[in-house]
Amino acid sequence: MGFAPAAQAALASSFQIAALTVLVCTPVAVALAAWMARAPWRGKLIVDTLILLPMALPPAVVGLILAGGLRAPGGPSDWLAVHTGWQPGLYPAGAMLAAVLMTLPLMVRVLRPAFEAGDAMLGPVARTLGASPWQTWWTVSLPMAWPAVLSAAALGLAAAWGETGATLVLATVLAPHPPAEPTDTAPLALVAALRQADGGVAWQLAWASLGVAVVAMLLSEWGRAHWRQRARQWARPAAGAPA
C-alpha cells in the first residue's frame, strides 16, 4: 500500500526543506565552529552566546521574530520585492529560513569540540613546522573533523525535518489561508491529519518520519564514533612530538 497523495506531498516538502537546510548550514556551521574554537578574545563569550541562542529559545519565539522581520515595513522582504521582484513566502523560503535558524546552532554546537580538539592536539605541531594558520586549518583541523561534520549534517537533517514550532508561527502569519496546493511539511501535515481524524495519513507520516530519524541518528552516531577513534589515533603521535 502506497502513501496517500497528501502524505506524499508533505514528505516531498519536508525532504526538500531539510536537504536545502543541510546544504546551506553545513559550510556555515563548519566556518563558525572553527572560528569559535580559536583562542578567547574580548567579547567572544557574547558572540558565541548570540550564535547559539536560537537553540535555547522556544521555536515559536524564533518563528515570531522571523515573521516580524519578514513582515516589517522596509525589512528584508520589502527590499527583495523592490530590487528583485520576489517576496519570500511560507514555502519553501520561509520554512527553510525557520529550519536554518533552528538547525544551524545545533550543528555548530556539535562541531565545535572537534575543532577545539584538533587545534589543541596538532595545531601547535603544524605551526612549528612552518604551516600558516590557514594551512593548519585546511590540512589538519578540517581533515580530522570530517566525521564530525558528517555527524552534524545528519543531526541537522533530522532537526530540519522535524522543525515545527517556528514554521507553525510562520504559517499563521504568512499563510493564514492555506493555498490550494498542499505545502505542509510532514510534522504540520501530521497535525492537520489528526485534526481531520485521518489516522491513515497521520500514521504514514509518523512512520516515514521515524525512518528518517533512525537513519539520521545512525549516521550521526557513526560519524561521532569515527571522529573519536580518529582523534585518539592522531593524539598519540601529537603527544610524542617535540614541544
State which of 93-102, 148-157, 161-170, 182-191 shows the largest mean pLDDT.
Answer: 148-157
Report CA torsion sign: 89, 91, 97, 101. positive
More confident residue, 221 or 88: 221
C-alpha distances out from residue 242 to 69, 116, 117, 119, 230, Å: 53, 20, 18, 16, 21
Q: What is the C-alpha separation between 100 and 93, in angstroms, rounded? A: 10
The single-letter code of the amino acid at 53 is L
Instruction: Supply the pLDDT for residue 63.
Output: 84
Which H helix or E strand runs over 20? helix 5-36
The structural domain count of the chain equals: 1
| CA nearest to 149, candidates 240, 22, 16 | 22
CA 163 and chain centroid, separation: 10
Place of cell 549534517: 153
Convert the pLDDT of each residue in 48-77 to its tens digit.
899 889 888 888 888 888 877 777 666 666
Domain containing residue 147: CATH number: 1.10.3720.10
* Position 243 confidence tier, pLDDT thresholds 50, 70, 90: very low
Q: What is the C-alpha separation between 88 and 38, in angstroms, rounded? A: 36
What domain range is 106 assigned to? 5-239
Q: What is the C-alpha separation between 57 and 66, in angstroms, rounded? A: 13
DSSP-derived letter for residue 57 is S
With residues binned 3-state (H G I as helix, E B as strand, rest as coil), the percentages for the chain, rounded to 5, are 80, 0, 20
Convert the pLDDT of each residue in 162-211 to its tens digit.
887 787 777 777 665 454 344 578 888 888 888 888 888 899 999 999 99
Q: What is the C-alpha separation between 111 and 10, in angstroms, rounded? A: 30
> Taking the model in full, what pTM does it have?
0.80
